[in-house]
Amino acid sequence: MLTASISDFRKDIKVYLDRVTKNFETLIINRGKDTGVVVISLDEYNSLCSTQHELSSKINKKRLDSAITKLKKGSSFTKKLIEE
């Protein structure tokens, strides 16, 4: 995780944004006492949105938890996909 003041961010905006996008780092820009902004890459944002969507339904969350448990116990199985 990177942190920067607003002044440092302004000076080296390209360097900071390159690190965020190329290294999947999170950047926190401090804007004063107890305030700030978080900068993440578009890929990271899309991943977070997808995860939030998957976990937004209690039924889906239970299904995912069950699948994770089965994988950890080694009681999962594989299936061939039907190709058209």
The reply to whether the predicted model has a pTM over 0.75 is: no
Which tokens sit at 31?
A: 């804007």
How many beta carbons lie within 10 A of that of residue 28, not counting itself? 14
Mind listing the pLDDT tens digit for each residue in 29-56? 999 888 999 999 999 999 999 989 888 8
Q: What is the pLDDT of residues 59-77, one digit of tens each?
A: 988 988 888 898 898 887 7
The token pair at 18 is: 């390159």
Dist CA 37 CA 11 (whole Å): 17
